[in-house]
Amino acid sequence: MAKVLVTGGLGYIGSHTVVELLAQNHEVIIVDNLSNSEYCILSKISEITHTTPAFEQIDICDTDALRACFKAHGPIHAVIHFAAYKAVGESVSNSLLYYKNNVLGLLSVLECMREFSVCNIVFSSSCTVYGQPTQLPVTEQAPIQKALSPYGNTKQICEEIICDAIHSYNDICAVILRYFNPIGAHPSACIGELPKGVPNNLVPFITQTAAGVRKQLQVFGNDYNTPDGSAIRDYIYVVDLAKAHVKALDKLCAQTTHSGYELFNLGTGTGISVLEMVHTFERVTGVSVPYTIASRREGDIEQVWADTTRANRELDWFANTSLEDILLSAWNWEKKIRNL
């Protein structure tokens, strides 16, 4: 069993991953500064797993504090690095904040890893690095395109930093995971996505509209070159995504090489349109989602979905939760947090 330091472990994907790590008897140290999460998530993790992981409220950019954490909890076998800011629009209006947090955060993590001889890292990247691919489904070999936002650029830069560090020092093994669109909540409805203010992402907007918190959903564009005119994405269940991190960790810990990196797409392999999402949600929950058609959202691509062959083969990982069950989990979570 590995001792794993999880940065951003109280966030949306981090908390679900911590649950899966604990379920596989890994030891977890969560590092989070609570900039986009709540302390109470720790007790929710305990409720689900009957285990309370170690928690350090630290800003990962504070390298001295992070160093002290590595020292106190050593020896650490691996880092799963989620901590970053992720709001695309905010990254456009406050780009330096994003470069500082996301890039300096990674540098600080890598510095501590090298200092304490921790060689394994799993890094959260994004399908945003592909932009609008020319071939679908998109494979890991597809060219990286110029980022459409500073947020997207931080992911490209961070991937490059990891690869350059491997090249320079030969003492880091990395798995870079490119997530498609993570959605849904834990089946217990104890943890889920907690967007602050008006959600930017589709599924929280759908569930909040269904709950009556928002009047109506705006469907951004119905004039795309897709079967129903709305944009297509690959929506991956957060619990399936979390399980992929455990597989990636197991692979890293089992291998005998001392340096290198591997890249994996994490999606379902199926593209779903915005309107299909709305109608599936309505069908499985029996709750209607009022919507209007609005103009396209700036910076949106038309369609993307993943080729997951590599993750299926190399990680023995499959996303097998149905869209119906995923949307039900998102709805159960929304009802729980709204006391409905």
Within residues 8-47, the interface with ligand WQD by CB under 6 A covers: none
Residues 316 and 254: beta-carbon distance below 8 Å: no
Q: Which one, 18 or 217, has the nearer CB to ligand WQD?
A: 217
303 touching ligand WQD, by CB under 6 A? no
Contact (Cβ atoms closer than 8 angstroms) between residue 110 and residue 162: yes
Reported residue count of the chain is: 340
Does 179 sit near ligand NAD (CB under 6 A)? yes
156 is a site residue for ligand WQD (CB under 6 A): no
Catalytic residue among 12, 98, 130, 151: 151
Peptide bond into 75 cis (omega under 30): yes
Residues 6+ apart with CB under 8 A from 70: 5, 76, 112, 113, 115, 116, 118
Q: Is 62 in the site for ligand WQD (CB under 6 A)?
A: no
Which segment (29-37, 91-99, 221-229, 316-324) binds ligand NAD by CB under 6 A?
29-37
* Residue 101 near ligand WQD by CB under 6 A: no
Using CA atoms, how far apart are residues 259 and 277, in angstroms rounded to an integer? Answer: 41
Q: How many other C-beta atoms are found inside a 10 Å radius of the C-beta of residue 167?
A: 11
Name which of ligand WQD, ligand NAD, none residue 269 binds, using a CB cut-off of 5 to 8 Å depending on partner kind: none
- 213 belongs to the binding site for ligand WQD (CB under 6 A): no
Applying CB under 6 A, what is the total number of residues that bind ligand WQD? Answer: 19
Figure out which of the listed residues 66, 79, 202, 330 binds ligand WQD, where binding follows CB under 6 A. Answer: 202
Other Cβ atoms less than 10 A from the Cβ of 215: the count is 8
Residue of 191, 181, 149 lying closest to 271 (CA atoms): 181
Is residue 149 a contact point for ligand NAD (CB under 6 A)? no
Binding status of residue 259 toward ligand WQD by CB under 6 A: no
Kindly state whether residue 220 participates in binding ligand WQD, applying the rule CB under 6 A.
yes
Residue 151 annotated in active site: yes
**37 binds ligand NAD per the rule CB under 6 A:** yes
Q: Is 84 helix (H, G, I), strand (E, B) or coil?
A: coil
**Minimum gap (Å) between residue 278 Cβ and ligand WQD:** 9
Cβ atoms of residues 296 and 230 within 8 Å: no
Residues lying near ligand WQD in the complex (CB under 6 A) are found at: 86, 88, 126, 128, 152, 181, 200-202, 205, 217-220, 231, 233, 274, 297, 300
Residues at the site binding ligand NAD, with contacts judged by CB under 6 A: 7-8, 10-14, 32-37, 59-61, 82-86, 101, 105, 124, 126, 179, 182
